[in-house]
Amino acid sequence: MLTALDGTFGDRADAVTIAGRSCSYEELLGAARAVAADIAGAPAVAVTATASLETVAAVVGGLLAGVPVVPVPPDAGPAERDHILRDSGAHEITVDFARRSDRTGTAPDPADPALILYTSGTTGPPKGVVLTAAALAADLDALAAAWDWTAADTLVHGLPLFHVHGLVLGVLGALRTGSRLLHTGRPTPAGYAEAALAGGTLLFGVPTVWTRIARDPAAAAALAGARLLVSGSAPLPTPVSLDLERLTGHRPVERYGMTETLITVSGRAGTAPRPGTVGTPLPGIRTRIAAEPGSEIGELQLTGPTLFAGYLNNPEATAASYTADGWFRTGDIAAIDPADGVHRIVGRASIDMIKSGGYRIGAGEVENALLDHPRVQEAAVLGVPDADLGQRIVAFVVAEGVTGDELTEFVATRLAVHKRPREVRFRATLPRNAMGKPQKKLLLSDSDELPHPHPGQGPSQGPAPARD
Ligand code: MCA
Ligand code: AMP
């Protein structure tokens, strides 16, 4: 699975650098084997997934031992953390990166679970997405082919190590292709600039990262020597893509995916990316649009070897995510250009799935946290268009005797930092339909629309609006 650790591509003292600390493949393998020896036979293990060599050793150790790893967001609030640990049944481990072992166990079955990643649905607590080693390998090989990604690359990013983007693509991808990894600790423009000047060739970011780099011309200029910039996890606004091209000479390649499916659709290296589109299906992936007659947009559905093995302990939710004829329902609304098969993501089917800074946040989870506050009678949470984050979380509440800041802090005691509302708006009542369901769109005002930064750039080319 992790070809680089076999010595296939040689070794170097700084094969992997995370937040300023480096190690060779040999050191990483020794540390990961020590983890594997400790956890062999466990049903699952959890690790607090800080951006660190320890997290990498834990995940690699799990892969070597055939024990699924549950990366827990370091800032997950107590409620979220308890849920993840209870639902997964994983026991928590801490890693001492200085330990080494040369133990080699039997190679695990690639069809067995390798990672369990917790991700939000529209309602309820996060669900555990079970990913097999075979699915991870299939996806990384398809991406390596799409991006001409090889051991000659130096991969740069600063994304969190508890989601597909930062962990699967950003760590396991480097260890499978043999590309050197330079993780910047946090995804700041200065960090990316420094890493690009230190030889970075392939740069990964969520749109918020690219937006911030495009607003920092000096940092952007440092990216000129890179080979390929890749954007994903949320829609990249067209003006950002064009600004980056002007500042760096590169238009980012966009790719589309989900925790449940891994990356399934992507632009290709060597082909000029068309802003606002996410490319074509990766090898082995089939896609289709479930559209009403006469319409070319509808739900994107897909099949292929990168799909998850189901939601942990939740066969009903797993079954509900597939059509009767076995295609995965992404919940994303898309269109496919009949001329060249290029896919365009138009929005989400549900207004209750929010993407903020590339993080997926279920409105229901934040609403439930707010409703736990004794002063809150009603709550409706929305993703409002935001020039930096794509969407920002805004909570509409019916409550007395409590401030917005107090409610934001209250949510932070339960859920991860990025799930906190950025803004709380108080209302006397919430508009509801005849069934009693909040009519969320009625809560938005005209000022919640994004201004169009470039003439001729309509909103359809900016971040995708949430749809009901
Ligand atoms: C954040 N802060 C807040 C709030 N939210 N303060 C008050 N109220 C709030 N509601 C704090 C933060 O803790 C931080 O404090 C400071 O404000 C700045 O926050 P922010 O603007 O959010 O900046 P940031 O913390 O730098 O976050 C932006 C980010 C981040 C770095 C782009 O959103 C991020 O890492 N996104 C990546 C998400 C990702 O990897 N998604 C992949 C999943 P302080 O500075 O003190 O800490 S998608 C996936 O895996 C699929 C398959 C795919 O397609 O890729
Ligand atoms: P997550 O499971 O956190 O990866 O979130 C998956 C969701 O992110 C998808 O269902 C899409 O709504 C969104 N997404 C990922 N990549 C893109 C992209 N390139 N363009 C638009 N939306 C994206």
Please work out whether the CB of residue 259 comes within 6 Å of at least one atom of ligand 1: yes
Residue 343: pLDDT over 90? yes
User: Cβ distance 301 to 328 under 8 Å?
Assistant: yes
Please work out whether the CB of residue 232 comes within 6 Å of at least one atom of ligand 1: yes
Question: Looking at domain 3-345, what is its CATH homologous superfamily?
Answer: ANL, N-terminal domain (3.40.50.12780)
Tell me what the mean pLDDT of segment 13-38 comes to.
Answer: 98
Q: Which ligand is nearest to the CA of 333?
A: 2
Please work out whether the CB of residue 230 comes within 6 Å of at least one atom of ligand 2: no
How far apart CA 144 and CA 332 sit, in angstroms, is: 25
How far apart CA 400 and CA 407 sit, in angstroms, is: 11
Q: Which ligand is nearest to the CA of 462?
A: 2
Give distance in angstroms: CA of 310 to centre of ligand 2. Answer: 18
Tell me what the mean pLDDT of segment 114-133 comes to.
Answer: 94
Looking at residue 466, what is its pLDDT?
A: 41
Q: What is the pTM of this model?
A: 0.95
Residue 465: pLDDT over 70? no
Among the four given CATH numbers 3.30.160.100, 3.30.200.20, 3.30.930.10, 3.30.300.30, the one describing domain 351-461 = 3.30.300.30
Report long-range pairs for 304-307 (Cβ below 8 Å, ≥24 apart).
Answer: 304/138, 304/261, 304/264, 305/134, 305/135, 305/138, 306/135, 306/138, 306/139, 306/142, 306/261, 306/262, 306/263, 306/264, 306/282, 307/135, 307/260, 307/261, 307/262
Give distance in angstroms: CA of 93 to centre of ligand 2. Answer: 30
Give distance in angstroms: CA of 387 to centre of ligand 1. Answer: 14
Phi-psi region of 20 (alpha: psi -120 to 50; beta: other; left: phi over 0): left
- Residue 67, C-beta contacts closer than 8 angstroms, at least 6 positions apart: 36, 39, 40, 41, 42, 43, 44, 45, 61
pLDDT band for 452, please (50, 70, 90 cuts). low
Nearest CA to ligand 2 atom 1: 258
Tell me what the mean pLDDT of segment 294-301 comes to.
Answer: 95
pLDDT in tens, 382-440: 999 999 999 999 999 999 999 999 999 999 999 999 999 999 999 999 999 999 888 99
Tell me what the mean pLDDT of segment 344-366 comes to.
Answer: 96
User: Cβ distance 103 to 33 under 8 Å?
Assistant: yes
pLDDT cut 90: percent of the chain above it:
90
Nearest CA to ligand 1 atom 5: 418
Give distance in angstroms: CA of 217 to centre of ligand 1. Answer: 22
Q: Which ligand is nearest to the CA of 265?
A: 2
Residue 154: pLDDT over 80? yes
Give distance in angstroms: CA of 228 to centre of ligand 2. Answer: 20
Please work out whether the CB of residue 258 comes within 6 Å of at least one atom of ligand 2: yes
pLDDT band for 57, please (50, 70, 90 cuts). very high
Number of neighbours of residue 435 by Cβ within 10 angstroms: 5
Q: Order of strands, edge to edge, in the sheet holding 21-23?
A: 21-23, 16-18, 180-183, 154-157, 202-205, 228-231, 253-258, 262-266, 280-281
Provide the residue type at 214 as one letter: A
Give distance in angstroms: CA of 419 to centre of ligand 1. Answer: 9
The pairing of beta strand 343-348 with beta strand 180-183: unpaired
348 CA closest ligand 2 atom index: 12
Element (H, E) at 54: helix 53-65
What three-state secondary structure class fits 228?
Answer: strand
Please work out whether the CB of residue 358 comes within 6 Å of at least one atom of ligand 1: yes
Can you state the angle between helices 238-248 and 207-214, rounded to 10 degrees? 50
Looking at residue 38, what is its pLDDT?
A: 97
Nearest CA to ligand 1 atom 48: 233
Looking at residue 397, what is its pLDDT?
A: 98
Residue 462: pLDDT over 50? no
List the beta strands (DSSP E) in 337-389: 343-348, 353-356, 359-362, 376-386
Q: Structural domain boundaries of the chain?
A: 3-345, 351-461
Looking at residue 450, what is its pLDDT?
A: 77
How far apart CA 62 and CA 49 sit, in angstroms, is: 13
Q: Which ligand is nearest to the CA of 254?
A: 2
pLDDT in tens, 249-277: 999 999 999 999 999 999 999 999 999 99
Nearest CA to ligand 1 atom 6: 422
pLDDT in tens, 196-243: 999 999 999 999 999 999 999 999 999 999 999 999 999 999 999 999
Nearest CA to ligand 1 atom 34: 357
Question: Could you tell me what percentage of the chain is helix, strand and coil, using 3-state DSSP and rounding each to the nearest 5?
Answer: 30, 25, 45
Q: Rounded to a whole number, what is the largest CA-CA distance in the chain?
A: 66
Q: Which of 36-50, 113-127, 148-162, 322-336 has the lowest mean pLDDT?
A: 113-127
Please work out whether the CB of residue 257 comes within 6 Å of at least one atom of ligand 1: yes
Give distance in angstroms: CA of 441 to centre of ligand 1. Answer: 25
How far apart CA 331 and CA 395 sit, in angstroms, is: 23
Look up tokens 């934001």; give the residue: 408
How far apart CA 45 and CA 127 sit, in angstroms, is: 16
The pairing of beta strand 328-336 with beta strand 343-348: antiparallel
Provide the residue type at 379 as one letter: A
Give distance in angstroms: CA of 276 to centre of ligand 2. Answer: 13
Q: How far is CA 75 from CA 2, 81, 144, 249, in A?
A: 28, 9, 31, 36
Please work out whether the CB of residue 422 comes within 6 Å of at least one atom of ligand 1: yes
What three-state secondary structure class fits 321?
Answer: coil
Tell me what the mean pLDDT of segment 319-326 comes to.
Answer: 98
Look up tokens 């990643």; give the residue: 117
158 CA closest ligand 1 atom index: 35
| Backbone Cα Rg of the chain | 22
Same fold, 3-345 and 351-461: no
How far apart CA 436 and CA 434 sit, in angstroms, is: 5
Nearest CA to ligand 1 atom 32: 357
259 CA closest ligand 2 atom index: 2
Tell me what the mean pLDDT of segment 107-118 comes to.
Answer: 96
Give distance in angstroms: CA of 207 to centre of ligand 2. Answer: 11
Which tokens go with 70? Answer: 């549950």
pLDDT cut 70: percent of the chain above it:
96
Please work out whether the CB of residue 417 comes within 6 Å of at least one atom of ligand 1: yes
Looking at residue 103, what is its pLDDT?
A: 87
Residue 467: pLDDT over 90? no
How far apart CA 245 and CA 91 sit, in angstroms, is: 46
Please work out whether the CB of residue 259 comes within 6 Å of at least one atom of ligand 2: yes
Q: Which ligand is nearest to the CA of 253?
A: 2
Which tokens go with 426? Answer: 């108080």
Looking at residue 459, what is its pLDDT?
A: 38
φ/ψ (deg, to 5) at 310: 120, 165
Q: Look over the chain and give the mean of its residue pLDDT values, rounded to a whole number.
A: 94
Please work out whether the CB of residue 330 comes within 6 Å of at least one atom of ligand 2: yes
Give distance in angstroms: CA of 234 to centre of ligand 2. Answer: 5
Residue 456: pLDDT over 90? no
Residue 84: pLDDT over 70? yes
Which tokens go with 456? Answer: 């001729």
Exposure pattern of 243-282 as b/e (b: 16+ CB <10 Å)?
Answer: bbbebbebbbbbbbbbbbbbbbbbbbbeeebbbbbbbbbb
